[in-house]
Amino acid sequence: MTKYFDPVRAMEKRGALVRLGDPAKGEPDLVVEHDTARPINRGAGRHMQWVATVMDRYNALIRLQFAKGTPACPYRSVQWLISHGYVRVVDGRYQLVK
């Protein structure tokens, strides 16, 4: 278990799936799909607000997670990015290195 906050994994656990968009279809770079099959414990408005806040706050990190992904693993975890030197933690904040 990692001690670092992973925004993609956190949103996935709460039913908001993030994926790369398809420019040919006119989609934005990052697309958030909400899994309606999973029950949302909080109100829908609070859930959407939380997802929007995480997307705004960690946008660069999320883009890096997908940029370093492979076809077999579409995105890389924050722990993987830290261990490979792409991200470092300074005073509790993520800094992109490369």
Q: Residue 71 belongs to what domain range?
A: 7-96
In a domain, 69, yes or no: yes
Tell me, yes or no, whether 1 lies in a domain. no
21 neighbors 30 (Cβ within 8 angstroms) = yes
Rounded to the nearest 10 degrees, how much is the dihedral formed by the CA atoms of 43, 49, 54, 59?
140
Domain tally, the chain? 1
Decide if 85 is inside a domain: yes
> pTM above the 0.85 mark?
no
CB 82 within 8 A of CB 88: yes
- Residue 4 or 98, more confident: 4
Question: 61 lies in a domain?
Answer: yes
Q: Write the pLDDT tens digit of every residue in 50-83.
A: 889 999 999 999 999 999 998 888 899 999 999 9
In a domain, 2, yes or no: no
Percent of the chain with pLDDT over 70: 87
